[in-house]
Structure 1
Amino acid sequence: MILKENTGQIAIEFIFLISLIIILSLISINFIESENELNIALLAAKEGIVEGIMIDSSAIYPKSSYDDYEEDKPNLLKPNSIQLNKIIIKSSEYDSKYNKTKIQLQVHVTSETVNEKKDQDSLGDRINFNLRKAISETYNTSDLTNSLYNPSHSNKYIFTTANVVWS
């Protein structure tokens, strides 16, 4: 009779332990899911930034942009050297309009060849455009935004960009 009581006691303790593990897993899964979504979005953003820098560095533009640059910004028609320094998550707040958390990203780059403010603004706009586009394409949310992908959406976040900082 003593053996039966010990066997039953072990089974109950085992059930409590398994139940505790399941409860903790369910509680932490929401946090892990949110962090995973943010990490995927930031990876997509970095991919977009690199694409924007490559386009700017090689001076390959759509016809309309090329025509504008030819008249107003001829320095952008030659290859430039641009390096990514860092990406800063500048703010994080809840946006009641979209019912999502708002994240603002700011890109910091360096260039020895792009010195004029108007050229930096044009190249920075292209970098930010590609950043937002990459996030929208990653989450298939292009239909939720405008033609400039501003703001970009994921399932739980909306992303905007601040002006690119040049140093």
Structure 2
Amino acid sequence: MRGFEAASGLLKQRIRDAGESRGFAVTRLLTAWPEIVGEATARMTRPVKIGYGKGGFGATLTLLVQSAHAPMVQMQLPAIREKVNGCYGYNAISRISLTQTAASGFAEGQAEFLAAAKEPAPPDPAIRAEAARSAEGVTDEGLRKALETITQNFLSRTRTPRGRT
């Protein structure tokens, strides 16, 4: 026994084996998809598999995309290929193919696409006034705004029942 071990260490080999079975030699392509291609593109696409040719070079990346977004993604394919090859460090991907699906109903949530980021609701005027009162007297503008923001966040958070987070 090695004592406490991080969950990522326990699952690392299983994730690698599952990824390699689908052609993903670099699992970072799966785990960091939004960072590689950007949040907007990641909301519309998911990498599904990589198929290699006989020589090992010139692989084809298959992306799952919602039907409504397919034309937009099709226009972005050269940029996506460039970003993915940057992840590999060489021109591993020579072609990208798209496979389309509906937003729901694909193998019970396996094709879950990221939702667009929502703007938070403006704070209640009474909370905003209380936050301003708590930060009055602070002369530094940046510090005062930070204190107001922290106070607004604290006062507007939802209360959870005791013992739950």
**If the length of structure 2 is used for normalisation, what is the TM-score?**
0.36
Larger Rg: 1
Which one has a larger percent strand, Structure 1 or Structure 2? 1
Larger relative contact order (C-alpha < 8 A, sep ≥ 6)?
Answer: 1
**If the length of structure 1 is used for normalisation, what is the TM-score?**
0.36
